[in-house]
Amino acid sequence: MMESCVKVPLKPSVLEDVVEKDKDYALIHGVIMRTRDAPNSSEIISYAPHVLLPSPVPTSLFHQAIDVQTDFNLLLHGVIQDKEFLQSSLKSTIQVDNFTRRLYEIYEAVYVNGTPSQPIQLGLLRADYMFDSPNGKETACEDIKLKQIEINTIASSFAGLGSQLPQLHSYNLQNLGEEKKVSSLPENKAVNGLALGLLEGFKAYGNDRAAILFLIEDVSQNIFDQRWLEYRIQELGQSIHVLRRKFSDVMERATVQENKLFIDDYEIAVVYFRFGYMPQQYKSEKEWETRLLLEKSLAIKCPSIPYHLAGTKKVQQELSRPGTLERFQKLFPDPVASMQKIRDTFAGLYTLDLGEDGDKTVTMAMENPDKYVLKPQREGGGNNIFGKDIVTTLEEIGQDIRRSEYILMDRVRPAVIPNYQVRHGSPVELMDMVSELGVYGVVISKGKEVLYNSNAGHLLRTKSINFDDGGVAAGAAVLDSPYLL
């Protein structure tokens, strides 16, 4: 059983004092967001939603997640190089999921039927995990297991703000007279790790007068998370230009000359996508034409279309099939050890493609819907289906090929811990919460050769047990940092 790092509930007078100091510290030290009422203005800001206390995380599970990340980096590198695997994994999905199909059509045009201008691939990844507690609150710490929820290959956010949480929580612990516990908060260098990854990609491009392009959303409530990364790039890279442009800006003003991508007179070395991961962001054919233009250019894409496809739920489900990892074993210096480390994190993942295997999956889900999660091929949070809604969805689909839009995953029963949520406009109250640990990774390759492979820090997000799904940007989770047990 995991317990709070501080005895709770706090006395009302103590809580009031530490919360007031917490909010001011967050504002002064850049743990901030724009408000929902004015998401495109920095005239009004507030502290980013977070928990008051660092949440307990078993030390062994924290290090397990950190240690396996470079193995996952190599695995995803192998996936993007394996055209046959991507084709076979997604063949059913692209028949029914229009968004994945449009991405795959670009992949086919540039990588299958053509030769890409840029052989260098840059992946900024984040593997997300929960702490499975099969016996609920009565589960002993040594019986809690690390289970992977997903791997994100596009727009993996909150490295900037998340890197500041250990300092905020150290300050809060000191104000509570718990100075000795500060040493149990691991340092978080996620913003440095991702900045170094983008810098390595920039160097690989080979033109120090070029620029890095942040491709951003029309609404940028979370701009300060991106600013932390932008500023760290410039601190580490000195004279490197970092541009922020909306997709509409690129559609209107980007040009390609001799395969080189230009916008506003800047040659672009790296395109860093913080946009383009949801269907509604492609409002017309012009958006798809622009995505193709970027993919065909010499600029290094983060992610490229192959990496974007490698992050689909369907590919992750296929990787979990018995015997599939052996397809990529030559990538690992110690194949047996690496494959075992990866498999140890897998939750059960099951196909819903039409056929015998998919039918078995449907039967499992219909008989025990509370044991599973139904997952579509979507990013951005808030898309998963739970409980009786699984039955309703599968009954409505029946034997239609639309079943291939989804995969089924074992539902993780995460460890529950009490904590205080500090969110603008909401009372600070003690509530039961669950945490999700993300680990960032950077992998850069040129063809089959891996040029750079690194762990790049971590992210802890925590949410009320009343939310089944959704992250910080979706309004469900809040920022956190681990307190190692």
Beta-bridge mates of residue 243: 213
Q: Is 448 known to be catalytic? A: no
| DSSP notation for 429-443 | -EEEEEEEEEEEEEE
Check whether the bond before 279 is cis (ω within 30° of 0): no
pLDDT band at residue 378 under the 50/70/90 scheme = confident
Q: Is 259 a catalytic residue?
A: no
With pLDDT > 90 as the criterion, what percentage of the chain qualifies? 90
Question: How high does pLDDT run on average in the chain?
Answer: 94
* Predicted local confidence at residue 471, as pLDDT: 52
CA–CA separation, 198 and 122 (whole Å): 8
Please, which pLDDT band fits residue 252 given cuts at 50, 70 and 90?
very high
Q: In Å, how far are 8, 59, 462 from 174, measured between CA atoms?
A: 16, 22, 22
Would you say 33 and 222 are in contact if contact means Cβ atoms under 8 Å apart? Answer: yes
Q: What is d(CA 88, CA 85) in angstroms, rounded to the nearest whole number?
A: 5
- CA distances for 359 relative to 124, 313, 320, 356, 478, angstroms: 36, 19, 18, 5, 38
Cα distance between residue 449 and residue 447, in whole Å: 6
pLDDT digits (tens, 9 = 90+) for 441-475: 999 999 999 999 999 999 999 999 887 655 555 55
Cβ-based neighbour number of residue 383 at 10 Å: 16
CA–CA gap between residue 129 and residue 147 (Å, rounded): 5
Q: Which of 73, 89, 133, 157 is catalytic?
A: 157
Is 438 in contact with 156 (CB distance < 8 Å)? yes
E strands, 58-171, in order: 120-132, 145-152
How many other CB atoms are there within 10 angstroms of residue 296's CB atom? Answer: 18
pLDDT in tens, 324-364: 999 999 999 999 999 999 999 999 999 999 999 999 999 99
Written as six digits, the tokens of 196 are 């170094």
d(CA 460, CA 482): 7
Question: Active-site residue among 23, 296, 341, 461?
Answer: 461
Q: What is the pLDDT of residues 136-164, one digit of tens each?
A: 777 888 889 999 999 999 998 999 999 99
pLDDT of residue 134: 85
**For position 481, what pLDDT does the model report?**
98
Q: Is 136 a catalytic residue?
A: no
Judge whether 416 and 136 are in contact, CB under 8 Å.
yes
441 is catalytic: no
**Catalytic residue list contains 313:** yes
Residue 247's contacts (CB-CB under 8 Å, 6 or more residues apart) are 215, 218, 275, 276, 281, 287, 290
pLDDT at 380: 59
Q: Report pLDDT for 239.
A: 83
Q: Which of 34, 313, 403, 413 is catalytic?
A: 313
| Average pLDDT value for residue range 160-182 | 97
Report d(CA 482, CA 23) in Å as an integer: 19
The reply to whether 20 belongs to the active site is no
Cβ 45 vs Cβ 222: under 8 Å: no
Candidates 108, 192, 246, 380; catalytic one: 380
Known catalytic residue: 375?
yes
* pLDDT higher than 60, residue 11: yes
pLDDT in tens, 70-114: 999 999 999 999 999 999 999 999 999 999 999 999 999 999 999
In the annotation, is 157 catalytic?
Answer: yes
- The string of pLDDT tens digits covering residues 382-395 is 688 999 999 999 99
Q: Angle of helix 165-175 relative to helix 12-28, nearest 10 degrees?
A: 150
DSSP code for 414: B
Rounded to the nearest 10°, the torsion over CA 319, 323, 325, 330 is -150
- DSSP letters for 314-369: HHHHHHTSTTSGGGGGGGSSSHHHHHHHHHTTBPPEEE-SSSHHHHHHHHHHHH-G
* Average pLDDT of the residues in 17-33: 97
- Active-site option among 23, 126, 145, 411: 126
Q: Annotate 105-134 with DSSP letters as a single string.
A: HHHIIIIISS--S--EEEEEEEEEEEEE-T
Q: Closest by alpha carbon to 190, among 152, 225, 148, 238? A: 225
How far is Cα 388 from Cα 367, in angstroms, rounded to an integer? Answer: 10
Q: What are phi and psi of 191, to 5 degrees?
A: -65, -35
Distances from the Cα of 474 to the Cα of 324, 325, 467, angstroms: 33, 33, 11
pLDDT attached to residue 434: 94
Respond yes or no: is residue 220 known to be catalytic. no
The letter for the amino acid at 385 is: I
| Per-residue model confidence (pLDDT) at position 136 | 77
Q: Which residue among the candidates 147, 150, 295, 438 is catalytic per the annotation?
A: 150
Options 379, 445, 471, 481, the catalytic residue: 379
- Please, what's the b/e burial string for 192-207 (b: 16 or more CB within 10 A of its CB; e: otherwise)? bbbbbbbbbbbbbbee
With left for phi above 0 and alpha for psi between -120 and 50, is residue 365 left, alpha or beta?
Answer: alpha
Residue of 73, 89, 92, 152 marked active site: 152
- C-alpha to C-alpha distance for 197 and 159, rounded to whole angstroms: 13
Q: Which of 34, 375, 378, 403 is catalytic?
A: 375
Look up the pTM and report it. 0.94
pLDDT, greater one: 475 or 27: 27
φ/ψ (deg, to 5) at 248: -65, -35
Percent of the chain with pLDDT over 70: 97
The type of residue at 423 is R
Q: How far is CA 38 from CA 41, 45, 76, 269, in A?
A: 6, 9, 38, 32
Single-letter code of the amino acid located at 3? E
For residues 421 and 214, give the distance between their C-alpha atoms in angstroms, rounded to a whole number.
31
pLDDT at 218 over 70: yes
Confidence at 12, pLDDT banded by 50, 70, 90: very high
Straight-line distance from the first to the last Cα atom of the chain, in angstroms, rounded to the nearest whole number: 11
pLDDT per residue as tens digits for the range 270-312? 999 999 999 999 999 999 999 999 999 999 999 999 999 999 9
